[in-house]
Amino acid sequence: MLFSQGFQDIDATAVEELCRIQYPETDVVEYKQYVPGKMGPDRWHEGAKKISEYARDELLSHLVAFANTRGGHLFVGIEESSDQPKRAVAPCLVPGCQELADRVRQAAFSCIEPPLDDLQVRGIPMDPDGKGIVLFRVGESRNSIEP
C-alpha cells in the first residue's frame, strides 16, 4: 500500500490504486481536488507562473496541522467523494505538478518557523504533459509550529 512505500517509490500506479480502492480521509490523510484559491481553483490551474499567497498559506496550514499532531499525507489533485468519511475517487490532474511541488517545498522552508523536521514533497506526473498530483508527507514535529 502507498503509505508503507518509500516516498520516492510512490508512482502513478500507486495513486490510481488509492483511488480504485477509494481510500478514506483520516486524521493523517487529506485530499484536495485542486490547488485552493479564494473562489475555487487557484490561478495555477489556468497557467499562472506562481501560486497565490492564499493557496500557499492554505497548503502550508495543512502541513503545519499535520506536523503539530501525528504527521500525515496531503494529496493535491485527488477528487474526493461527498459522503463521510470522504474517500479518494479519481485523480484530478494538476498542471506542472513537479514545479508546483518545488515551489511549495521552498515556501515551506521560508515561511514555517521552526522549519518542519520531516517534510517530503513530490510531484507525481500522470500524463505526458507533466500534469499529475502533488504529494506531501510530513512527520510529527517535536516543536509547536506556526505558519
Average pLDDT over residues 134-142: 90
Tell me: the pLDDT tens digits for 2-41? 778 889 999 999 999 999 999 999 999 999 999 999 999 9
Q: Which CATH number characterizes residue 81's domain?
A: 3.30.950
Structural domain of 46: 2-139
Cβ atoms 27, 74 nearer than 8 A: no
In a domain, 67, yes or no: yes
In a domain, 145, yes or no: no
In a domain, 34, yes or no: yes
In a domain, 144, yes or no: no
Instruction: Extract the runs of DSSP E, i.e. beta strands, from 1-63.
Output: 29-32, 36-37, 40-41
In a domain, 100, yes or no: yes
Number of domains the chain contains: 1
Cβ atoms 63, 117 nearer than 8 A: no
- pLDDT value, residue 145: 57
**CA dist list (Å): 78 to 8, 25, 47, 74:** 19, 11, 19, 10
In a domain, 146, yes or no: no
Tell me: the pLDDT tens digits for 54-63? 999 999 999 9
